[in-house]
Each structure stands twice: as structure tokens, then as C-alpha cells.
């Protein structure tokens, strides 16, 4: 049986997961109720966070499919996957055309010399313009420095939801056969007798974890045959030995145990507890290791601490730093973009203080927010400090992470966006008008966009699309000017009353509504003027014997700005903690009001 290895890449919500599910359904590998986006957070947000594997069989050919994340915070996932496959399906929405993250994932593919197959998806949309979309994709290829061969890409038109594909828009089609035929025709075969006969070389591009099997390595067998129960050598900078206990390959979305995996196939291996991404597994120690896979460095860090607020321990099942530490240790097994410096000393919260569990570093605010969201859903309770960018020093010079920001927004907002990002150290590198939409490309320090996304949503009235990816570390810029809003801090314990909140809402934006329990030092909102303000949200209306028309009027309260983990990480100040429990997200001052 021949093998083809492909990855699906796209901007968020352009339909790659739906298209993959349709391919699984047509080839009989679909299981009802199971989707490529199986994680609860992925289903809620409609984004792919973790790369996943599937396999389908068509015309005696096994097609391994890897679904990749579209968000730049998970870019390290994309790059690793691309190293292990032979072609990519670039999915582009026929109405929206190439979007910021389309550029990000495509650039990675072209740099690795991969020749993509372009799928113009959602051709059924009322405003879809597939022909124009193909032209825009070609422009993007040329702009990103594609070779002549890469720019001469095959095009397939599709409606992933309906499960149909066409080579020409005028063709009649009732399934995805044209797409499957294009894959067979244009994706080079990964398997051959010549490769199978060579000595074993297997390289993991992803990690998994199983409660019974421990660490799992997902990788490609480049040469030879990988056999269960075999003693092997692991080569990186040094050499060590190990034994493969189990091998799994993929059928649909399910992993199937097998005794061996041949060259060209993607397999999942158990029995190597210290295996890491990019290492080479081989039988013959004299063989040369495969080129190492570079993993993107973290760009931001923050402290994870035991929750010592007055409400600490009310909702969480796991509240000690030992329990939090154990979770992070398990997460490090599979979350390769994460780094943790564990705190030493007492691992339980001390009386009157908060024990530090460790300093956690990640690829961006979304990367950290997803980790925290998964923790709270698992019953954990903790608090975190404000995210800070990681500063490196090389040759006596301080370096900080820089990012390229790509924004699509209505043209009327471009002045505000350029002005705000200019104050934050960003320089405009490109400006492109498309009807009434402007695309801005800017470069600047990661420091400048921490806490900006919420402001961006307000400035563009929710109509703008913001995407960014890390360019690397560059010499540190000077001071970054951010719009300062002060904190509105509770100076009382109790339940917030509507009358008090009605009087406070003119002073800024409230994070709570009537009936919310508050404590001294809890941040209940922000102040528009930028000054810190101590307030009493539990104060009720004074009762008198006199009645007046105005006193009987109904109080009109604006809806509160509900804090989520992402919003909290963006708006918190340096002297605050974000308190995260299974049911609540609160902001508080580090030093509580006595």
C-alpha cells in the first residue's frame, strides 16, 4: 500500500476541520460524534489548538492527515508538523480570501520547500468570489517568495459542509472524489521498497500522554521498519538506549495497535519515557541523526501562585501548590511551547502569604489562557501575576521579542489603529486597500501588544481582525506608552448592591453586577481617568420618610464587562493578581486592603 502524508493549514474558521471530517465521512473512517476538534475548548471557540492525526484509505493508498492550529500562539505546532509531511492543503474561504493567519502558515510551508494544493472552500457563500480568491492567493504566494513550481499550484473548489469538491467551477460533483484524486496525483509517495530496506530512522514531531502508557511520541518513520518490542538507540546531542513497548498507527481518528510501521508512515510510539521532539530513533548507532527540529522560544512569562484571597479554596478541588505543580509537570510532557521554573522551598501556602508554584513561560497570552482554562475546568484554583515579556541578554545588549502584526479593518479606523500602535513602539511596514477594508502590516515589540487586543476591539467596534506572530528577539526598544486606566477597588466585604453600582458606573467600566460577592482589595472595575479609586459597592440606599419623584425612578445599570481569563490577563496591572477558580475569574490587588 502506498502512503501519502499531508497537513491541512488555514486561517481560523476557514473550514479545514469541517473539510477533514467530510473526507473521513466519505472514506468510511468517520465515527459519529467524533471530530478533529475534539477538545472542549476547541469546540467552544471554533479553533484548533492541538495538532491531530487521522488517516483515510482511498484506492489502496493510505493518506495520513494532520490538522494544524491556525493561531500564531500555536505556531510551534505548525512548524513541527510541516517537517514530517510531503504537501499541504491550503484552505482559503472563497468570500474572505487569504487572511492574516493564512499568510503565517503558508510562509512556513514555502520556506520548507513544500508545494501546496490550494482549496477554495465555502464556494456556496452568497458573497463568494472563487476566481478573485485564486488571484489573491497567487499574489500572496509571489509576495512570500514562492518558487515558480510552488506558484504553479493545483486548485480545487470545495464546499466542505456539503462534502463536495470540483476541479472547475462548472463541473458537476456530489462528493470529494476530485480532491482525493488531486492528492493522489500531486502529493509525492512517502513509501518505497528502497526506503523500507534501509536501516531504521524515526523522528517524533509531537508528544502525547497516556495514563497507562506514559509519554507517547508521534512521528514519521523516514527509513526502515519500526518494530514493537525492539531495542533502539535515541540520538540527539548524545546517545542513549530504549525499548519500544507498543506501536500505533491511525485509522480514521482512532489509533490502532500494530506490530510494525514501515518507512513513510506516521506512527505513535510508547515505551520511551524520555523521548523528545526532533530526536532520532534508530537501530544502528553509527547512522547519522536526522536534522533537529527547532522549537519556538517562549516570549512571555508570569508567576503561578496558590490562591490566598479571602475566597480562596471555596470552589477549587485542587488548591495546594503541590497539586498545581503536579499538573504543570504533566503538562510539560506534551505542551512543548511551555517552560516552567518550579519554585523551591515550602510547597504549601504559608499563613499570610501566597506560595509560588513557579514561573511559567509560554508563546503568548492565548497559549497561557488555554492552559489556565484547562486547569480551572479540571478543578484547579490558583492566582497568576501580570504577564511580562522575556528579556534576553546577548553580547551585553538587551533583547526582547518582536512581532509582526497584520490587521484587517474598515478603512475609517486605520488612523486610530496606526496612532495607538505607534505609541506602543510599532512601525507601519505595509498598507493595502481592498474595497473598504484596509490591511495594515506593522512591526514592534511584544511588550507593545500585551493588553492591546481589548482596546483594538473597542476601537474597531468589533469589526477588525487582529493577528500576530513572533519574528524573533531584537534590541530592546525604549519606553512603551499605553493608555492607563486605573483600578476601582472595593474597600468593603459583602454583596454588591445595584444602587451603589449605579452611582459608580459613570466613573468607569464595572466588572461585576448586583449580588456579586466582593472583598476588600478586589478590583470591581476600572476608572476612565486613570486614577486608582477605593469604593464601597455594598452601600445601600438611605431610607427616609420623604418621597420624591426622582427617588422612585428605576435604576438603569449598564451590563458589566465580564472578566474571562484572556480579558483579565490583558487588563491587569503590575500590582494585581488574576484569581482563577472553577467558577470565577476575579482581579485583586496583591496587597489586600486591611
Q: Tell me the pLDDT tens digit for each residue of 200-251.
A: 999 988 887 777 888 888 899 999 999 998 999 998 878 889 899 999 998 8
- The tally of CA atoms less than 13 A away on the side-chain side of residue 24 is 26
- Which whole number is the average pLDDT over 417-422? 91
Q: How does pLDDT run across 442-491, given as a tens digit for each residue? A: 999 999 888 788 788 888 888 888 878 788 899 998 888 765 678 899 99
Strands (E), 94-188: 117-121, 155-159, 164-166
**How far, in Å, CA of 264 to CA of 242, rounded?**
22
pLDDT value of residue 576: 92
Nearest CA to 185 out of 23, 4, 55, 8 is that of 4
Q: How does pLDDT run across 155-172, given as a tens digit for each residue? A: 999 888 888 999 998 888
Assigned C-alpha cell, 136: 489573491
**How far, in Å, CA of 525 to CA of 561, rounded?**
8
Contacts of 445 (CB under 8 A, 6+ apart): 389, 400, 401, 402, 403, 425, 474, 476, 477, 480
- The tally of CA atoms less than 13 A away on the side-chain side of residue 243 is 3
pLDDT value of residue 41: 44
pLDDT value of residue 152: 92
Q: How does pLDDT run across 367-394, given as a tens digit for each residue? A: 898 899 989 999 999 999 999 999 999 8
Strands 576-580 and 382-384: what pairing? antiparallel
pLDDT value of residue 45: 43
pLDDT value of residue 75: 55
Assigned C-alpha cell, 381: 484554583
pLDDT of 102 > 80? The answer is: no
pLDDT of 347 > 50? The answer is: no
Angle, helices 130-143 vs 100-111, to 10°: value is 50
**How far, in Å, CA of 587 to CA of 581, rounded?**
12
Which residue reads 542513549 in cell numbers?
240
Nearest CA to 347 out of 339, 338, 337, 356 is that of 356
Distance from chain centroid for Cα 86: 24
**How far, in Å, CA of 312 to CA of 330, rounded?**
24
Assigned C-alpha cell, 575: 500590582
524 pLDDT band (50/70/90 cuts)? very high
39 pLDDT band (50/70/90 cuts)? very low
Strands (E), 47-121: 52-58, 61-67, 87-93, 117-121
522 pLDDT band (50/70/90 cuts)? very high
**Average model confidence (pLDDT) for the chain?**
84
Across-strand partners of 269?
A: 217, 247
**How far, in Å, CA of 252 to CA of 89, rounded?**
18
Ramachandran quadrant class, 407 (left: phi over 0; alpha: psi -120 to 50; beta: rest)? beta
**How far, in Å, CA of 21 to CA of 66, rounded?**
12
Angle, helices 365-377 vs 321-334, to 10°: value is 120
CB atoms within 10 A of CB 31: 11
pTM: 0.78
Lowest mean pLDDT among 172-176, 352-356, 414-418, 528-532: 352-356
Q: Are the C-beta atoms of residues 35 and 21 closer than 8 Å to each other? A: yes
**How far, in Å, CA of 69 to CA of 102, rounded?**
11
354 pLDDT band (50/70/90 cuts)? low
What domains are there in the chain, each with its CATH number? Answer: 2-186 (3.40.50.300), 193-282 (2.40.30.10), 296-391+478-594 (3.30.70.870), 393-475 (3.30.70.240)
Across-strand partners of 260?
A: 227
pLDDT of 594 > 70? The answer is: no
Strands 117-121 and 61-67: what pairing? unpaired
If 0-12 CB within 10 Å is exposed, 13-18 middle and 19+ buried, where does residue 333 land? middle
Contacts of 218 (CB under 8 A, 6+ apart): 53, 204, 205, 206, 207, 208, 266, 267, 268
pLDDT value of residue 383: 95
pLDDT value of residue 42: 37
Nearest CA to 453 out of 524, 369, 357 is that of 369
CB atoms within 10 A of CB 257: 11
Sign of CA dihedral 12, 74, 583, 560: negative
pLDDT value of residue 324: 93
pLDDT value of residue 5: 93
pLDDT value of residue 254: 82
Nearest CA to 365 out of 415, 308, 302 is that of 302
Q: Are the C-beta atoms of residues 324 and 340 closer than 8 Å to each other? A: no
Amino acid at each position: 500500500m502506498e502512503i501519502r502524508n499531508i497537513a491541512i493549514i488555514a486561517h481560523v474558521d476557514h473550514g479545514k476541520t469541517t473539510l477533514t471530517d467530510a473526507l473521513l465521512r466519505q472514506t468510511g473512517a468517520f465515527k459519529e460524534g467524533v471530530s478533529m476538534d475534539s477538545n472542549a475548548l476547541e469546540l467552544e471557540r471554533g479553533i484548533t489548538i492541538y495538532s491531530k492525526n487521522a488517516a483515510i484509505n482511498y484506492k489502496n493508498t493510505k493518506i495520513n492527515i494532520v490538522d494544524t492550529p491556525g493561531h500564531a500562539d500555536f505556531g510551534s505546532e505548525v512548524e513541527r508538523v510541516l517537517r514530517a509531511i510531503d504537501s499541504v492543503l491550503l484552505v482559503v474561504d472563497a468570500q474572505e480570501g487569504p487572511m492574516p493567519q493564512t499568510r503565517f502558515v503558508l510562509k512556513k510551508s514555502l520556506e520548507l520547500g513544500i508545494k501546496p494544493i490550494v482549496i477554495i472552500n465555502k464556494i456556496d457563500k452568497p458573497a463568494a468570489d472563487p476566481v478573485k480568491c485564486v488571484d489573491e492567493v497567487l499574489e500572496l504566494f509571489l509576495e512570500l517568495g514562492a518558487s515558480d513550481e510552488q506558484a504553479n499550484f493545483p486548485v480545487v473548489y470545495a464546499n466542505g459542509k456539503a462534502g463536495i469538491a470540483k476541479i472547475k467551477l462548472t463541473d458537476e460533483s456530489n462528493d470529494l472524489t476530485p480532491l482525493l484524486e488531486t492528492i493522489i496525483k500531486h502529493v509525492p509517495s512517502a513509501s518505497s521498497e528502497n526506503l523500507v530496506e534501509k536501516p531504521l530512522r524515526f523522528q517524533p514531531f509531537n508528544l502525547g500522554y497516556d495514563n497507562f502508557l506514559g509519554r507517547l511520541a508521534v512521528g514519521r518513520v523516514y527509513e526502515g521498519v519500526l518494530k514493537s518490542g525492539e531495542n533502539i538507540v535515541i540520538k540527539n546531542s548524545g546517545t542513549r538506549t530504549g525499548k519500544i513497548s507498543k506501536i500505533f498507527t491511525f485509522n480514521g481518528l482512532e489509533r490502532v495497535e500494530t506490530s510494525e510501521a514501515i518507512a513513510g508512515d506516521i506512527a505513535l510510539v510508547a515505551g520511551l519515557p524520555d523521548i523528545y521532539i526532533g530526536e532520532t530513533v534508530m537501530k544502528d548507532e553509527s547512522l547519522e541523526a536526522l536534522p533537529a527540529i527547532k522549537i519556538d522560544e517562549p516570549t512571555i512569562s508570569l508567576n503561578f501562585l496558590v490562591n490566598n484571597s479571602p475566597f480562596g479554596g471555596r470552589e477549587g478541588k485542587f488548591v495546594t501548590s503541590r497539586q498545581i505543580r503536579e499538573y504543570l509537570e504533566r503538562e510539560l510532557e506534551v505542551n512543548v511551547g511551555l517552560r516552567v521554573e518550579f519554585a523551591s522551598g515550602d510547597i504549601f501556602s504559608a499563613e499570610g502569604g501566597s506560595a509560588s508554584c513557579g514561573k511559567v513561560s509560554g508563546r503568548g497570552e492565548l497559549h497561557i489562557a488555554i492552559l489556565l482554562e484547562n486547569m480551572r475546568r479540571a478543578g484547579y484554583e490558583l492566582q497568576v501575576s501580570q504577564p511580562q515579556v522575556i528579556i534576553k541578554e546577548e553580547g551585553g545588549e538587551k533583547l526582547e521579542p518582536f512581532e509582526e502584526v497584520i490587521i484587517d479593518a474598515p478603512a475609517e479606523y486605520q488612523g486610530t489603529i496606526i496612532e495607538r500602535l505607534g505609541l506602543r513602539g510599532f512601525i507601519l511596514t505595509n498598507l493595502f486597500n481592498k474595497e473598504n477594508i484596509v490591511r495594515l502590516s506593522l512591526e514592534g515589540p511584544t511588550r507593545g501588544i500585551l493588553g492591546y487586543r481589548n482596546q483594538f476591539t473597542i476601537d474597531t467596534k468589533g469589526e477588525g481582525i487582529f493577528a500576530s506572530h513572533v519574528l524573533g528577539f531584537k534590541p530592546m526598544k525604549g519606553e512603551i506608552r499605553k493608555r492607563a486606566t486605573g483600578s476601582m477597588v472595593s474597600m468593603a466585604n459583602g454583596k454588591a448592591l445595584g444602587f451603589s453600582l449605579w452611582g459608580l458606573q459613570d466613573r468607569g467600566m464595572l466588572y461585576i453586577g448586583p449580588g456579586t460577592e466582593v472583598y476588600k482589595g478586589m478590583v470591581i472595575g476600572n476608572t476612565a481617568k486613570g486614577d486608582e479609586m477605593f469604593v464601597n459597592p455594598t452601600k445601600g440606599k438611605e431610607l427616609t420618610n420623604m418621597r420624591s419623584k426622582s427617588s422612585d425612578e428605576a435604576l438603569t445599570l449598564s451590563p458589566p464587562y465580564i472578566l474571562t481569563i484572556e480579558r483579565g490577563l490583558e487588563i491587569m496591572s503590575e500590582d494585581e493578581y488574576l484569581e482563577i477558580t472553577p467558577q470565577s475569574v476575579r482581579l485583586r490587588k496583591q496587597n489586600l486592603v486591611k
